[in-house]
Amino acid sequence: MSSIITNNSAMIALQTMRTISSNLSDTTSQISTGKRVATAKDNAAVWAISKVMEADVQGFQGISDSLALGSSTIAVARQASETVTSLLTQMKGKIVSAQEGNVDRTKIQADIVTLRSQISSVVGAAQFNGLNLLDGSQTTVNILSSLDRSGASVTASSIAVTAQDLSIGAYAGKSVLTGSDGASTDADTAGFTIDKSTGTGTVVIDDSTDAFAAGDSVSISIGGKTATYTATADDVAATAPSDLVAVGLKKAIESLGITGLAIDYDSGTAGTLAFSNTGSVDLNVALQFKNAGAGGLGALASIDVSTSPGATAALGNIETMMQTAINASAAFGSVQTRVDTQKTFVNNLTDSMKAGIGSLVDANMEEASARLQALQVQQQLSTQALSIANQQPQALLTLFR
């Protein structure tokens, strides 16, 4: 049946044209934006996933910046600690020279003071963006290293960097080694040799002149091994702090396991340790007192090689301080490697996440180009079909002629 009211062919042609126009609009949008899923309307699930991943990518880019800043800060501290190690090595050479009796110890001491000042300058300048990991102002610094996602929950991970105290703080002598063999003039250092087989030596811990404070420490180097005891608040509050420090130092020395060395604590004589050597080698002994506020290398302030006992004590004590600087350099080197490795991983992870987002939402431009041309042809044909359908009622006029 033919009708001039309802033109089914035209309606079908119009529906087809609308579908083609809609597809053409979608394809044109993909080409112009470069995305197959540009809005939640295009594909709600994929769009939601991509937005979460894009947020994580932004977070990891911030983490990459944090790691770069942390690596630079650690690199400055490592370089400074290596420089301090080199300066201490030079200082050791001066101290070794002072062991000879026929030298001008006064001039050697002047050189040591100069090196000490240089170490202080290096430590003070070892800061990056205001953060100094060597001057004792920090304990642990956390560097943001990762975002850990578990479903909708996100937590941040950090790399802990332990600061190393190489400062030369305010040194306050207390003459606590008075009575020890080879005690220096200020009685804050002491040095002597315990001969092999039958040698003996005495160390006296005496705080009667100036009492111990919590954090004060006494270090002893024997045969290249070092032991330290630090006074605690309980020690200081006790009736006889000297005895407690002496006993604590005795236990620390015994833990070193030095062959042939025997240590006797004389409870009848306050703070006295008697050493004897039944071994086959001589044992060089060096003691160093350091107050709580002296800093990691604060004992440098008490090094004085102008006398023979002072030179002997300095030789053992410089080894301890060199080991402190070497350990600091090694610690910074290790953590810098870890930070740099994490930075490389984060950068690679960010690239992988970007590629994953692209595979979800980016348009296939080759396919879009081919579809565009096909839809343009279909649009032209649908237009022609609609034109033909609109002309069909004209044929009905012939029935009325």
CA dihedral 272, 278, 279, 284 (to 10 degrees): 30
Position 140 confidence tier, pLDDT thresholds 50, 70, 90: very high
Position 401 confidence tier, pLDDT thresholds 50, 70, 90: low
Q: What is the pLDDT of residues 315-357, one digit of tens each?
A: 888 988 898 999 999 999 999 999 999 999 999 999 999 889 8
Position 172 confidence tier, pLDDT thresholds 50, 70, 90: confident
Which regions of the chain carry the CATH code 3.30.70? Answer: 189-293
Which regions of the chain carry the CATH code 1.20.1330.10? Answer: 47-168+329-353
> Largest alpha-carbon pair distance within the chain?
146
Angle (nearest 5°) at CA 372 between 369 and 374: 115
Quick one: DSSP state of residue 102?
S
Instruction: Report the number of secondary-structure helices (H) and strands (E) in the chain.
Output: 7, 11
Average pLDDT, the chain: 88
CATH code assigned to 47-168+329-353: 1.20.1330.10
Position 50 confidence tier, pLDDT thresholds 50, 70, 90: confident
pLDDT attached to residue 373:
85
Chain CA centroid to CA 210, Å: 39
Q: Which of 267-281, 327-341, 358-372 has the lowest mean pLDDT?
A: 358-372
Q: What is the pLDDT of residues 214-260, one digit of tens each?
A: 999 999 999 888 899 999 999 999 988 999 999 999 999 999 999 99
The helix or strand, by DSSP H or E, that contains position 153, with its residue range, turns out to be strand 153-162
Mean pLDDT calculated for residue range 166-176: 86
* The CATH classification of domain 189-293, taken from the options 1.10.150, 3.30.70, 2.60.120, 1.10.3470: 3.30.70
Tokens of 31: 């080409």
Q: Look at residue 34 and tell me whether its pLDDT is greater than 80.
A: no
pLDDT attached to residue 2:
65
pTM of the model: 0.73
Separation between Cα atoms, residue 76 and residue 53, nearest integer Å: 35
Residue position matching structure tokens 């006494």: 218
Angle (nearest 5°) at CA 71 between 64 and 53: 10
Separation between Cα atoms, residue 215 and residue 226, nearest integer Å: 18
Position 7 confidence tier, pLDDT thresholds 50, 70, 90: confident
Query: Percentage helix, strand, coil, to 5, in the chain?
Result: 55, 20, 30
